[in-house]
Structure 1
Amino acid sequence: MMNLSTEQLKEIEEMAFRLIAPSLIAINIGVNEMEFVDEIKIADSPARIAFYRGYLKQEIMLRDSIIKAAANGSNPAQIELIRYFKDLKQHLNYE
């Protein structure tokens, strides 16, 4: 596993929140691109956790906006919300 500093991990999270591609994150924090991309595929690696923490914060904000828009009657948002429900049901193995 890569030995990343606390500052690098924070930067990874912040850039992932802004939906920056992993290879560009690697360049910005000064590590090998291919090694970093491989690192975020390793379960429980600090880089993966930081990356997905940022990414998921952004996804949560987006989904909150879609849920609010759907509740306010937006048909496209309602369609997207139905898609999220179907996706979640597949992960839960419910029909």
Structure 2
Amino acid sequence: MLEVKETAREGEEKQYNFNFNVVFYWVGAALSLSLLTGAIGWSYQLIVRDINQIPIVRAQLGPLRVAPDDPGGLTAANQGLSVTQLAVNERPLVR
């Protein structure tokens, strides 16, 4: 608690000298408890947030791939060049 030193003689008015070290101890203890309480509350919020916000992935009801109605596609320009045949390890056609 707060220490009080009495420095009064008989018949004189009592003077109180407060020891400020004790005040600093209590202020430090209050700050420590508030930091500890804040850290516990913050960690609790992290745990609750991580549990409640887990994304749930569900499969689609239909098929993932669907074949096109007209599988012909488009013919691209510059097909059949020797560069593309070399990449596939084929000999280019001699024209």
- TM-score, normalization by structure 1: 0.31
Q: Which has the higher helix share?
A: 1
Structure with larger RCO (C-alpha < 8 A, sep 6+) = 1
- TM-score, normalization by structure 2: 0.31
Q: Which has the higher strand share?
A: 2
